[in-house]
Amino acid sequence: MEFCPTCANLLLVEHASSGRSLRFFCPTCPYIYRIERKISKKLALKQKEVDDVLGGEDAWKNVDRTEATCPQCTYNQAYFMQIQIRSADEPMSTFYKCCNNACNFRWREG
């Protein structure tokens, strides 16, 4: 982004009258600046930290077991918890975690 040195408005880009080159122009005053070289700036974006909405590993400490087949390792027991993640008129969602310590796969139903 470039700003007009005269009136401090944001400069816009347009093709110059020759049609091949570009130039900045101010929409409110007669300022024009011819672009003679490529202007670029790389900026690395920092990703936002994501909160674990299920409460992280602490949420799985005091949950019950049930007979459920793990879709990844086919172990026949899993920890489960039910959470209301939609509106009150929708059914609860059931989250599972495989009891096999080598797998610990998580999945959801509902």
Does the annotation flag 4 for ligand binding? yes
CA distances from 24 to 31, 52, 83, 95 (A): 8, 46, 55, 55
Does the annotation flag 73 for ligand binding? yes
b/e 44-75 (16+ beta carbons within 10 angstroms → b): eeeeeeeeeebeeeeebeeeeeeebebeeeeb
Q: Where are the beta strands (DSSP E) in 42-92?
A: 64-67, 77-83
Does the annotation flag 99 for ligand binding? no
Binding-site residue positions for Zn(2+): 4, 7, 26, 29, 70, 73, 98, 103
Binding-site residue positions: 4, 7, 26, 29, 70, 73, 98, 103
